[in-house]
């Protein structure tokens, strides 16, 4: 997976969520770390084709992500996205949450979609919950089902925006384990997280985003082992204090 971002700016009102973000990286798994409000989510939304840059250019695997709604829709269809929470549609069962996009977006036959969906749920240990509504499942189960929905169509890239931030430690471990499995199986992933141990273990490349810019990027051993920037050193010291 090749990602090239050049002077990305995304403005919300008077706030520059991204303030000239530039990054050129090639990785199987790219992990974004950094303080909250630094621009990780905004950058991920741009990468997922859910939002558009105010200026600058973004190119992933040689696909430019511009402003054309039809091309952005195509891009969203090709990739999977998981948010912090509230991913699932609350009026549909876990199974239907997966089969509906398979049928309506990816043109699968309903019977075929059910087979695919059940296989994905089974893979994540959720087959027993297939007919449950989201409100009847735990937060961890919901997030795993969201992950199952995201990977069901076989996405080119999986984008995960702090996928465990709303979960307790036990559920966090359940979800991180699945993500690690997916990464090991060769799934291309861009994710943001506050779980530094996990970031270090799963990433090919790490990028630290703060104040809408990339402050530091490189292989995890470099960024975590010998950070160049003082900000990175302070940030890591702070977040790793109790781990």
Is the Cα dihedral 54, 55, 58, 62 positive or negative? positive
List the Cα angle 203/204/205 in 5-degree steps.
90
* 37, 64, 90, 110: residue in contact with another protein (rule CB under 8 A): 90
Cα(33)–Cα(49) distance, integer angstroms? 20
- Footprint of another protein on 103-122 (CB under 8 A): 104-106
Cα(160)–Cα(193) distance, integer angstroms? 9
Cα(59)–Cα(53) distance, integer angstroms? 12
The span of 31-39, 96-104, 171-179, 198-206 binding another protein (CB under 8 A) equals 96-104
* 34, 38, 39, 134: residue in contact with another protein (rule CB under 8 A): 134
Work out whether 40 is an interface residue with another protein (CB under 8 A). no
Is the Cα dihedral 15, 55, 28, 85 positive or negative? positive
The span of 18-26, 69-77, 179-187, 203-211 binding another protein (CB under 8 A) equals 69-77
The span of 100-108, 122-130, 205-213, 235-243 binding another protein (CB under 8 A) equals 100-108
Nearer Cβ to another protein (82/178) = 82
Cβ 205 vs Cβ 193: under 8 Å: no
* 18, 88, 113, 202: residue in contact with another protein (rule CB under 8 A): 88
Nearer Cβ to another protein (100/211) = 100
Work out whether 101 is an interface residue with another protein (CB under 8 A). yes
Work out whether 44 is an interface residue with another protein (CB under 8 A). no
Q: Kind of pairing, strands 188-192 and 29-33?
A: parallel
Residue 104, number of CB atoms within 10 A of its CB: 10
Nearer Cβ to another protein (76/118) = 76
Six token digits for residue 61: 């695997």
Cα(59)–Cα(152) distance, integer angstroms? 24
Work out whether 231 is an interface residue with another protein (CB under 8 A). no
**Binding residues vs another protein (CB under 8 A):** 48, 50, 73, 76-77, 80-83, 85-92, 100-101, 104-106, 133-136, 149-150, 153
């Amino acid at each position: 997976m090749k990602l090239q971002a050049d002077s990305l700016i995304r403005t919300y009102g008077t706030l520059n969520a991204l303030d000239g973000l530039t990054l050129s990286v090639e990785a199987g798994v790219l992990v974004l770390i950094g303080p909250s409000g630094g621009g990780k989510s905004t950058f991920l939304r741009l990468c997922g084709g859910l939002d558009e840059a105010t200026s600058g250019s973004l190119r992933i695997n040689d696909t430019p992500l511009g402003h054309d709604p039809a091309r952005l829709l195509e891009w969203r269809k090709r990739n999977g996205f998981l948010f912090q929470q509230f991913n699932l549609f609350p009026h549909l069962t876990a199974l239907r949450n997966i089969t509906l996009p398979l049928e309506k977006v990816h043109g699968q036959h309903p019977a075929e979609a059910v087979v695919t969906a059940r296989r994905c749920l089974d893979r994540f240990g959720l087959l027993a919950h297939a007919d449950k509504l989201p409100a009847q499942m735990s937060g961890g189960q919901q997030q795993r089902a969201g992950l199952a929905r995201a990977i069901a169509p076989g996405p080119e890239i999986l984008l995960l925006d702090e996928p465990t931030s709303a979960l307790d430690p036990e559920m966090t471990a359940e979800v991180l384990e699945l993500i690690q499995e997916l990464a090991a199986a060769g799934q291309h992933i861009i994710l943001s997280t506050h779980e530094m141990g996990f970031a270090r273990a799963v990433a090919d490349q790490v990028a630290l985003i703060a104040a809408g810019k990339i402050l530091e990027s490189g292989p995890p051993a470099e960024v975590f082992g010998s950070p160049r920037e003082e900000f990175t050193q302070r940030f890591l010291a702070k977040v790793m204090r109790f781990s």
